[in-house]
Each structure stands twice: as structure tokens, then as C-alpha cells.
Amino acid sequence: MSWTLKQAPTQSGRIAVVTGANIGLGYETALALAGKGCTVVLACRNAGKAEAAQAAILAQHPKARVESMALDLGSLRSVRAFASAYKKRHATLDLLINNAGIMMPPFSLSEDGFESQLAANYLGHFALTGLLLPLIVKTPESRIVSLSSLAHKWSGIRFDDLHFTRRYDKRLAYGQSKLACLMFAYELQRRLTQAGSRTLSVAAHPGVSSTNLFQHLPKVVQLFAPLTELIFQSASGGAQPTLYAALGDDIQGGDYCGPQAMGEMRGAPGKVGSSRRSRDEAVAAKLWGVSEELTGVRFLD
Ligand SMILES: NC(=O)c1ccc[n+]([C@@H]2O[C@H](COP(=O)([O-])OP(=O)(O)OC[C@H]3O[C@@H](n4cnc5c(N)ncnc54)[C@H](OP(=O)(O)O)[C@@H]3O)[C@@H](O)[C@H]2O)c1
């Protein structure tokens, strides 16, 4: 039988940070966690949108404990400010849900000089996780969930032009960023195990879900967006693999969770496989070193 949220125990007394929690999968994840009694921190780049999401969650769960805090993953300055503000407010962190993301925007570089998808989807989360890790590893039963995608199969890691400054291909850049998120989840688990930590690093993907993620696709494609929900997943359905990764009692470090029907595009959550490229430990170690250099964040020192 497939996992459902009903099987998860109460999360009362626990705390979760969900990035990009104002809408889409992040919002649905935060809503479900709050409904389970978890204190939820909505880590969002737009204060107005975060407050609206907070109000919407409280309208459904009036006793929920929901906070919102500013976080722009496209800016290392903002990531550092968030981590330091969080550590001032909270002494523990049970669940870090690295959810926020953008897909196929026009080319731009972040203020740190990173290609925008690599910045927001991957390097921002890499830095965030590293900065919060001291708190996470001392919290019993803690987990870090990183969002990848079926698109991790679209590209390799292009070490010779990581930021696509020679010729931008927004599809390849998205694929690279999502492959990086998946390789990060696996490599983090290897490093946690080596350090003797019981914290779990797990990856998840939502299949294809009806959200704002498709806003940069051509208008004609967007006309078919309402069909996404009918044929594939609602945002709530797409959040189930993330919730399974965060709360499932049979989850092990290094697992990858996704929907189980229609080529993983929809369906109930379960454990899924990933590309051979995503399992390349030499590339993962190299990517880790490059990411530490680019962000200036070092893990488990
Ligand atoms: N939907 C799918 O079919 C699908 C498939 C595979 C993987 N995914 C992954 O699922 C995750 C969630 O996507 P979604 O479908 O829920 O998309 P969405 O509805 O567009 O939500 C994305 C969230 O990320 C936030 N965000 C974007 N850039 C950010 C930044 N620089 N700093 C902080 N927050 C930022 C957005 O904030 P704003 O509202 O302020 O823009 C929004 O809250 C992404 O990692 C995506 O790659 C989605």
C-alpha cells in the first residue's frame, strides 16, 4: 500500500523550514506540516506573499504555529542573513525542505555572478544547508529534503562553463541545476554517514505538477497549463513525495522519492531511481568542492 500523510505521526514539538513556501509545492508542504502540528517557518523572498500564505495556512489550521522569514536564495548575502536570524530565534531544526526553484527564465546572473537557476535552485540551498547544519545535526531524527526533478536527466554538470556565459540554453541550465540538487542530496548523505551523524539527507521530485513554475514557458504552452492538473498532478499531489521523504518511517538517507505512475509524472509517492550520471561519486565530490569555493560555505568543519 502506498504511503499517505495519514500514516505520519504528529509533528508537534518539531520545527521545519520550507523554502519557497508561499505558493505551489512549498505552500502545500508547509500546509500539510502545519496540519500535523509542526512549527513551520515559511522562508520566502517576498514578505507580502509570505504573509498571505501564513494567513491562508492559519485559516485552515487556526492553532498552527507558522512564522515567515525573508530568504532570497539568489543572494548569498540574504542566505547568510536568514541563517543567522534563524539561529537567533531557534535552537533546533528538525526538517529543512529545500524546495524553492525557478525554471527556464531568460539568462541572468545573480548578484554573486551565478547563472540564475544554478543560484536559486542549487547554490543558495547548498549554502543554506551548510550554514544551518550545525543546528540540524544536533536535532534528533532530523532530515534534509532536496527537491530535484525528472529534468535531472536533461544535462550533466558543465564544469567548463557552469554559468552558461558562452551560450545560454535555459533547458540545459535547469537540468544542470536539478541534477546538482540530486547529487548534493546523495553526497551530503555520504558525508553525514562518514561523520557519524544520524541526520538523513533525502531527495524528492513531484512528477509534473500544476504550479507557477511554468511561467517562463511560451504563452502557447501555458494555455495548456490547466490540463496539467487533470492529466498529471495538483500542487497538493506533487507535494506528497516531499512529505513522504520528510516523514515516511521507512525512509533511509540517500533515498529518492517521487510519484509512481505514468513514468513518475503522477501518482502516489514511493522510492524511485535516478540516472547513472546522478550516482557518479567523483563528479559529486568535484561539484561539492566547487560549490564550497563559490559560496564560501564549508560543511561539518
Ligand atoms: N511543478 C513541477 O512540475 C515540478 C517538477 C519538478 C520539480 N519541481 C521543483 O519543485 C520545486 C517547487 O516548484 P513549484 O512547482 O512549486 O514552483 P512555483 O509554484 O513557481 O513555486 C516556486 C517557489 O520558489 C520561490 N522562489 C523562486 N526563486 C526564489 C529565490 N531566489 N529565493 C527564494 N524563493 C524563491 C517562489 O517564490 P515567488 O513566489 O516569490 O516567485 C515560489 O515560492 C522547485 O524546486 C522545482 O524545481 C517542480
Q: Is residue 219 part of a domain?
A: no
Q: How many domains does the structure of the chain reveal?
A: 1
Cell of 300: 561539518
> In the Cβ-directed half-sphere of 214, how many Cα atoms lie within 13 Å?
17
Sign of CA dihedral 222, 226, 232, 233: positive
The Å distance, Cα 120 to ligand 1 centre, comes to 9
C-alpha–C-alpha distance, residues 33 and 53, integer Å: 14
The whole-number average pLDDT for the span 191-200 is 97
In tens, the pLDDT along 80-101 reads 999 999 999 999 999 999 999 9
Closest atom, ligand 1, to C-alpha of 215: 20
* Residue list, ligand 1 pocket, CB within 6 Å: 19-20, 22-26, 44-46, 49, 71-74, 99-103, 120-121, 147, 149, 205-206, 208-209, 211-213, 238
In tens, the pLDDT along 199-220 reads 999 999 999 998 888 888 887 7
C-alpha–C-alpha distance, residues 238 and 24, integer Å: 9
Q: Is residue 301 part of a domain?
A: no
Q: Please give the DSSP secondary-structure letter assigned to residue 7.
A: G
The whole-number average pLDDT for the span 29-39 is 98
Q: Is residue 58 part of a domain?
A: yes
Per-residue pLDDT band for 221 (boundaries 50, 70, 90) equals confident
Give residue 73's domain range: 10-206+236-294
Tell me whether strands 200-204 and 15-19 are parallel, antiparallel or unpaired. Answer: unpaired
Q: Is residue 267 part of a domain?
A: yes
The gap from C-alpha 178 to its chain's centroid, in whole angstroms, comes to: 10
CB 118 within 8 A of CB 178: no
Q: Work out the percent of the chain whose per-residue pLDDT is above 70.
A: 99
The Å distance, Cα 194 to ligand 1 centre, comes to 31
Residue of 51, 57, 212, 234 to mutate, ligand 1, most atoms within 8 A of C-beta: 212
Closest residue CA from atom 28 of ligand 1: 101
Task: Tell me what pLDDT residue 220 has.
Answer: 77
The whole-number average pLDDT for the span 249-260 is 98
Q: Could you list the active site residues?
A: 174
- CATH classification of the domain holding 181: 3.40.50.720
Q: Is residue 222 part of a domain?
A: no
Q: Is residue 225 part of a domain?
A: no
C-alpha–C-alpha distance, residues 205 and 207, integer Å: 6
Task: Tell me what pLDDT residue 301 has.
Answer: 64
The Å distance, Cα 213 to ligand 1 centre, comes to 6
Residue from 96, 104, 103 nearest 71 by CA: 96
Q: Is residue 202 part of a domain?
A: yes
Task: Tell me what pLDDT residue 136 has.
Answer: 98
The whole-number average pLDDT for the span 1-17 is 96
Q: Per mean pLDDT, which range of 113-122, 221-230, 241-250, 256-265 is the poorest?
A: 221-230
